[in-house]
Each structure stands twice: as structure tokens, then as C-alpha cells.
Chain A
Amino acid sequence: MTASSDAGATADHDDVVTLADVRKTYDVGGTVEALAGVSLSLPTGSYTAVMGPSGSGKSTLLNLIGALDTPTAGRVVVAGEEVSAVNERARAALRGTEVGFVFQTFNLLARLTAVENVGLPLIFAGVPRAERRDRARELLAEVGLGDRTDHHPTELSGGQRQRVAIARALVADPALVLADEPTGNVDTETGSRVLDVFDRLHAAGNTILLVTHERHVAERADRIVHVRDGELERIETLDGGERCD
């Protein structure tokens, strides 16, 4: 590479996610603009929180970055793949291997045990059963559930379920962990322990994007992206001191 290569390309290279002037409109009896030209990059190893009132476009942003949706205009690049340029198959593969989702409502499959839930993404990636189980056990142990591997979700507390979900998000060793209100369905005490897990993941070098409407949750991140009316209002960078209080 020579010095003439443009800055954008270089930035792409270091960033897990790049959004360039992304627009998303929905046609629901009239056009609703959920995102009105958003540009954002998530550098490798960063921990970003997205805040905004409901209807601000947070969820749309998350769905686009998670390759669950495609933009109406603009580019969304995740782990080097342009989401809008690839087919459904490739987007599924992207979700399975490069993105780990953590949902507010956990979204564990009730029929499967903890270890099977954690191993689920690997099924679709074609990983053999024994290998899946080993990897899932390892991750459950990491989130402190080594003794709960064969329990079904209904036999676990809310906090435990969310930790299972986090283990599932990490099982394919993704480039990015996406969390949508991960503390929304647990009490403050439990929520704080869930956030501790994210802190550890961050410390271990994972890239995290967390959507929340709670300031104290968002403050765990490196920076807070404020979204309003489909636009980036401002990006607030937090220093280490503020994060650790």
C-alpha cells in the first residue's frame, strides 16, 4: 500500500463496523425515516453504548449492524462484508459467525439445555456435536455457570439466563457482540453483574455495542452515541475514571 490509499479504506480496515450515510425508511402507510443518514465506526476492541429515546432509531441501527436488516441507502460494513451487497445466505453466515446477539428477553430456546442453547449458533455453522458441547461448557464456565450446563432455561434465574445468552453470543468467537437492553429484564443487582461480564469481555478485547436507555448502564462503555430522530446527535467519550466509579 502506498500513502495514496484513501483514509476511508484504512479506517475500514481497523474497524469492525463501518456505517456510511446509512438511511433506513419504512413504508407503513406513509414513509417513516428510521435512520436519516448515520455514519459511525466501531473500532476493534471498542465498547460503545447507544442511547436515545424510544423511536429514535436505536433498534434499527442494531438490526442493521447485526445483519438482520439491510439499509435503504448507504453502506453498512460488518467484519469486512457489506451487508447490503450480499445475499440472505451470506448475511445468515455473518450473523452466525461474526456477530453475537444478546437480547433484552434472553431469547433462549426453552426445549434446549443451557449447553445446547449456547451451542446453537455452531449448529448452523456446521460444527460437530462434541466440539460444540466442549466449547459451550467452556463458555458457560467463563460466565460462572459451569454447574448449570444441563439445566433448562426455566430452571435458571433471570441473571443466569442472561449469562447463558452472553455465552451463546460468544460461542462462535464473533468480531462483535451486540446487546439490546441486556439489563432490561433483570433487577439492578443482577443487571450490574451482567454488566460486569461485559466489562470482562471488553477487557479481553471483544468489540461491544450496547443499546440502552439507562445512563448508568451506558456509562460502562468507552463512549456513548446519542441518537435522536434517526440521526446521531452527539458522541460522548468517557474517560477511564468515569467508567470505573
Chain B
Amino acid sequence: MRLIESVRIAWRSIRSHRLRSALTVLGLVIGIASVVVFATFGASIEAEIVGDIEGSSASNVYVFATPADDEDGGFDRVVQPAFTERDVQALASLPGVTAAIPRGTVDANSLTHGEDTVARQRVTATTPATFDEDRIVAGRGFRSGSAEVVLNERAAQTFAENVTVGDQLTLSLSGNRTHDLQVVGIVNGTAGGLPVSDFAEGSRVYVPVDPFYRTVVESPSVGVRQRAYPQVTVVTDPTGIEATRTAVATYLDEESDARLLVPAGTEPTARTSGDFAARISSVIDRVTRFVTGVAVIGLVVGAIGIANIMLVSVTERTREIGVMKAVGARNRDVLVLFLVESGLLGAVGAVLALPVGLGVGYAATRYAEVGFTLAPGWMATAVGVGVAVGVLAGLYPAWRAARVDPIDALRYE
């Protein structure tokens, strides 16, 4: 018997029970579509976040101390200041490096704008190189050594009246020191921040290291007390980032003050936004896989629906099977016939589920305001699984059908 004949007969049988077939297919459509939806949504979120990270900070190598046992590129940071002024200068002079931006925090009490005082525990101390032209919303970056302050958009909005360039702010630091600062710029991000702050950006107040940052340690290499920071961002050319990272890592391991100053059990590390993106990807990927795995349950339910309906079908058509065998159908022909039927149900389900899943996935990305990214691998898998599920679910019923004894079947009422 030719396969095309099996398909024809099977299709006819499916069409002769329209409602039943439609409901069976619907079960499978829901299962496959859920898989497609979650996979698509996960891929879209991942692409969006990773794209953000790589787009905004492809030229950065982040230097900080991590626990020594953190081997998998983690971003657990140690906050103790270990990178000395000497380290910052040494990093800045590595080949290919355009800037080394130290970053530390200054403990504060409050910030006052006009009549309005807002409690503030810390402000960020950094250098002018952290301000990147593309991210300055208004004004300019501060100058080193001056009483100037830069706010990010969020911080500018924390006061009753929005802060604008030219306003005066009074910063009260711990120890009851107060400073009158002039707002010189509003930014929506900085080069020195870790990529995570781009999408989880809190309110940030930036002041120049000189004169506000006063955390000092003795540099083991030069023997004088100098400023030390918990984090340094090395800016380089994106194309040479891996070479820079290697140079930075070598410096950190072999010559830095930081290697001697970091707390026991930690070590200075260099990470790129690529590491960061990979880290986030793997987290999102795990979540996606978990959620998609849950959706697979729907697929299994769909498969059980097919198996159930095929078993009913075999019982209903016992006599028909007997007739087919009496007129020359082999066991194999009967087996194939039923497998083709359940496989067809699976295929129809998969084909219908694909646009449904993509549609819902697209709607979800719109809702979450992320770009729409296809997950072709998952789509192919969903369709393949649909057909496979159909065939698998049909195996037992088909085997039962093939084993029907024609003599009994012809007597069957």
C-alpha cells in the first residue's frame, strides 16, 4: 500500500469526525502554541537585554574584586576599596585603553534643592571620563576639583521641583560637612556603571572624586596613602576588548595593589559586558527553559488526547479493519493507516499552533515593550514534536488496530 493512499484514507477519516478531530487538534494546538509563545517571549527578552548591554557597553572592561571561588564569570562584587590611584593610572596606561574610570561611594546624609531636602545615604564619586556624550541629556559633565554635581534623570526628579542645569544643591555628608554644589549636567547613564544599571537604574548623584572622595589606603607598591576604589571601569576600543581584558587581568594578577589589598578569599577580576551578557543570557535561558518545560505539559495533555481519540477510533472501526484485512490489507497497512491518522492530527495541530503561538508571543512582546525575536529552533522543535507526539500517541492504538483478528472483527457489531 502506498503512503499517499494511507494519507488519503486517514484524512477522510479525520474529516468524517470534524468536531472530534477539531477538539483533539485544539488540545495539541494549545500545547504547541504555549511552547512557541514562551520560547519566543524568552528569546525576545533575552535579545533585548543582551542587545542593550552589548550596545551600550561593548567597549568596557569592568574591574572589581570577586570571591575567589566564583569561577563562572559571576558579578558578585566585594565593596572594599582595593584599587588604588596607582592601579587606576596603571590601567589607564595599558595599550589600547582610552580611560580608566574609578568609581566609589561617598557616605551622605541628605541633599537639598531649594526648600526641599531629601535623605540620601550615598553619592557616587567618579571622574569626568565617565560622562559619555551620548548619554548627557542636558549640560555637561563635571570638572575635576570643582564643586559641581551631575544627576541622572531619576535623581533630578526626586525633588518637588525638577532639578535643572544651573540649579544649586546642598549636599550634607556624614560628619556634618556640607557642600554647595552647582548642577552642571543631567545624564541617562554613565560609562563607568555596570551594565545592569542601564535597565535597573536607580537615582544617581555623581560628584568628582576630587575633592569629595576621601577613602584612602596605603599603596603597597609606592608606600604612600592614596585614594582607593572598589571598582574601576576600563574603556577601550570594542574591537580590541579581549586583548585589553587580558592585559588588565595580567596587570591585576601580577602587579596591582589590589591583589594585595583585596579581602582574604577574594581576587581582583576583569569582566566585559560580553561576560555580563552571557551571564544574563544563561539566566534568562534557564527561566525560559523552565517555563517552556511547563508548557510541554500542555503538549503531553494534547498527546494523551490524541491517544485517547485514536483508541476510540480503533474500537469504533474494528469492523472496518476486519473488512480491510479481508480484502488484502496487511497488518502493516493497518498500522501505518492509524499512525498516519494520528500523525496527521499532530501535524495539523503543529501547523495551526505555529501562527497562534507567534501571534500570542508577538502580543506578549508588545505588552512587555521589548523587540520581537523569533526562536526558529524552538519553532522547528514545536512542529517536529507535534508530529512526533501524534505518531507516538498513535503507536499503541495503531498496534492494537494492526492486531485485530479479521474473523472476530467481521463478526463485531
Contacts of A101 in B (CB 8 A): 326-327
CB-CB contacts below 8 Å: B308-350 with A: 319-320, 322-333
Contact of A66 among B326, B331, B332 (CB under 8 A): B326
Asked if A107 and B328 sit within 8 Å, CB to CB, the answer is no
Complex CA–CA separation, A97 to B323 (angstroms): 14
Asked if A96 and B319 sit within 8 Å, CB to CB, the answer is no
Asked if B330 and A103 sit within 8 Å, CB to CB, the answer is no
Asked if B410 and A95 sit within 8 Å, CB to CB, the answer is no
CB 8 Å contact bits of B355-371 with A (1 = contact, 0 = none): 00000000000000000
Contacts of B406 in A (CB 8 A): 68
Contacts of A89 in B (CB 8 A): 330-332
Contacts of B326 in A (CB 8 A): 66, 68, 95, 101, 107
Does B380 reach chain A (CB closer than 8 Å)? no
Q: In the complex, how many angstroms separate the beta carbon of A46 from the nearest chain B beta carbon?
A: 22
Contacts of B5 in A (CB 8 A): 123, 129
Q: Which of B13, B331, B407 has the most CB of A within 10 A?
A: B407
Asked if B16 and A69 sit within 8 Å, CB to CB, the answer is no
Asked if B333 and A124 sit within 8 Å, CB to CB, the answer is yes
Asked if A96 and B13 sit within 8 Å, CB to CB, the answer is no
Contact of B330 among A66, A92, A172 (CB under 8 A): A92
Chain B residue with Cβ nearest A98: B328
Q: Which of A121, A124, A126 has the most CB of B within 10 A?
A: A124
Q: In the complex, how many angstroms separate the beta carbon of A24 from the nearest chain B beta carbon?
A: 11
Does A86 reach chain B (CB closer than 8 Å)? no
Contacts of B333 in A (CB 8 A): 92, 124
Contacts of B320 in A (CB 8 A): 109
Complex CA–CA separation, A124 to B6 (angstroms): 10
Asked if A88 and B324 sit within 8 Å, CB to CB, the answer is no
Chain B residue with Cβ nearest A106: B323
CB-CB contacts below 8 Å: B239-296 with A: none
Contact of A92 among B13, B323, B329, B410 (CB under 8 A): B329
Complex CA–CA separation, A121 to B12 (angstroms): 17
Contacts of A96 in B (CB 8 A): 327-329
Contacts of B2 in A (CB 8 A): 126
Asked if A93 and B331 sit within 8 Å, CB to CB, the answer is no
Contact of A124 among B1, B319, B407 (CB under 8 A): B1
Complex CA–CA separation, A132 to B75 (angstroms): 73
Asked if B325 and A107 sit within 8 Å, CB to CB, the answer is no
Does A25 reach chain B (CB closer than 8 Å)? no
Complex CA–CA separation, A125 to B324 (angstroms): 12
Does A111 reach chain B (CB closer than 8 Å)? yes
Q: In the complex, how many angstroms separate the beta carbon of B125 from the nearest chain A beta carbon?
A: 82
Asked if B329 and A124 sit within 8 Å, CB to CB, the answer is yes
Contacts of B327 in A (CB 8 A): 95-96, 101, 120-121, 124, 168
Interface size (A, Cβ < 8 Å)?
27
Does A39 reach chain B (CB closer than 8 Å)? no
Which size bracket describes the interface of B in this complex?
20 to 34
Chain B interface, DSSP helix/strand/loop, else mixed = helix
Does A44 reach chain B (CB closer than 8 Å)? no
Chain A residue with Cβ nearest B5: A123
Does A84 reach chain B (CB closer than 8 Å)? no
Chain B residue with Cβ nearest A60: B407
Complex CA–CA separation, A179 to B328 (angstroms): 16
Q: Which of A92, A97, A120 has the most CB of B within 10 A?
A: A92
Q: In the complex, how many angstroms separate the beta carbon of B24 from the nearest chain A beta carbon?
A: 18
Chain A residue with Cβ nearest B330: A92
Q: In the complex, how many angstroms separate the beta carbon of A96 from the nearest chain B beta carbon?
A: 2
Contacts of B9 in A (CB 8 A): 123
Chain B residue with Cβ nearest A63: B407
Complex CA–CA separation, A92 to B326 (angstroms): 8
CB 8 Å contact bits of B296-311 with A (1 = contact, 0 = none): 0000000000000000
Q: In the complex, how many angstroms separate the beta carbon of A170 from the nearest chain B beta carbon?
A: 12
Complex CA–CA separation, A63 to B405 (angstroms): 12
Chain B residue with Cβ nearest A100: B327
Complex CA–CA separation, A89 to B325 (angstroms): 11
Q: In the complex, how many angstroms separate the beta carbon of A31 from the nearest chain B beta carbon?
A: 18
Chain B residue with Cβ nearest A59: B407
Q: Which of B5, B323, B326 has the most CB of A within 10 A?
A: B326
Chain A residue with Cβ nearest B9: A123
CB 8 Å contact bits of A107-130 with B (1 = contact, 0 = none): 111011000000011011110010
Q: In the complex, how many angstroms separate the beta carbon of B20 from the nearest chain A beta carbon?
A: 14
Contacts of B323 in A (CB 8 A): 107-109, 120
Complex CA–CA separation, A187 to B1 (angstroms): 37
Complex CA–CA separation, A66 to B327 (angstroms): 10
Q: In the complex, how many angstroms separate the beta carbon of A100 from the nearest chain B beta carbon?
A: 8
Complex CA–CA separation, A66 to B328 (angstroms): 11
Complex CA–CA separation, A68 to B212 (angstroms): 100
Asked if B13 and A111 sit within 8 Å, CB to CB, the answer is yes
> What are 27 contact pairs spanning A and B, CB under 8 A?
A66-B326, A68-B325, A68-B406, A69-B407, A92-B325, A93-B328, A93-B330, A95-B327, A95-B328, A96-B328, A96-B329, A97-B328, A101-B326, A103-B410, A107-B326, A107-B410, A108-B323, A111-B13, A112-B12, A120-B324, A120-B327, A123-B5, A124-B324, A124-B333, A126-B1, A126-B2, A172-B328
B residues near A (Cβ < 8 Å) are: 1-2, 5, 9, 12-13, 16, 319-320, 322-333, 406-407, 410
- 15 new A-B contacts, CB < 8 A, other than A68-B326, A101-B327, are A68-B325, A89-B330, A92-B330, A92-B333, A93-B328, A93-B330, A95-B327, A96-B327, A107-B323, A111-B13, A120-B324, A120-B327, A121-B327, A124-B333, A129-B5
Please name the 9 residue pairs, one residue from A and one from B, whose CB atoms are nearest each other, closest first.
Answer: A96-B328, A121-B327, A124-B328, A92-B330, A107-B323, A124-B329, A101-B326, A123-B5, A121-B328
